[in-house]
Amino acid sequence: MAKAKASRTFAIRPATNDDVRAIVGIYNWAVNQTFATIDSEPLSTEEAADWWEAHARRSRLIVATDDSGVIGWARLFPWKQRGIDVVEDLVYVDPVHHGRGIGRALLTELIKQATGLGYRTIVATVATDNRSGLQLHEKLQKSLVG
């Protein structure tokens, strides 16, 4: 007899200062265990506070949450290059929750926010070794373009 797969729901909302510890925990895991970031050292508590101040003022920062707390986060950050307004996205999901559609939901929400703000170009810097990040962006690109 096949087992039914447990389904847990999650919600997406704007990040708050109370989310910083969980956001940085997910980010630091990625720094230590993946190719998802170019940083080679985890953020310290002080750097995390500075990071929050810089990001809370200049970007859209959202989190995915479930009963256990923050399980993923994403950022939409204005990026100016050659006089053209462009936004960059970052998406990170707690590894325990990979494969649940959280990254896709976060990126979809960022795209909606960017569109609502009038941006028409979103960029992402994804390392070639970051297969899940590449797949996420390729899947959403295909669904948006064609």
Residue-wise pLDDT tens digits, 14-62: 998 889 889 888 888 777 676 666 666 767 777 877 777 776 666 788 9
CB 89 within 8 A of CB 107: yes
| Helix residue ranges, H only, 1-146 | 20-33, 45-58, 102-116, 131-145
Closest CA to 66 of 39, 44, 97: 97
Half-sphere exposure (Cβ direction) of 73: Cα atoms closer than 13 Å = 23
Query: Is residue 3 scored above 60 in pLDDT?
Result: no
Query: Is residue 4 scored above 60 in pLDDT?
Result: no
Closest CA to 79 of 59, 51, 54, 49: 59
CA 23 to CA 45: how far, in whole Å?
Answer: 12
Closest CA to 30 of 43, 21, 45: 43
pLDDT for residue 59: 75
Tokens 């096949």 -> residue: 2
Other beta carbons less than 10 A from residue 93's beta carbon = 25
Q: What CATH code would you report for 12-145? A: 3.40.630.30
Half-sphere exposure (Cβ direction) of 5: Cα atoms closer than 13 Å = 5
Segment holding 84, helix H or strand E: strand 84-93
Average pLDDT value over all residues in the chain: 79
- Both tokens assigned to 104: 């896709």
Q: For the chain, which residues make up each domain, given as ranges?
A: 12-145
The confidence band for 71, taking pLDDT boundaries of 50, 70 and 90, is very high
What pLDDT digit, counting tens, does each position of 79-124 carry? 776 667 788 888 989 989 988 999 999 999 998 988 888 888 888 8
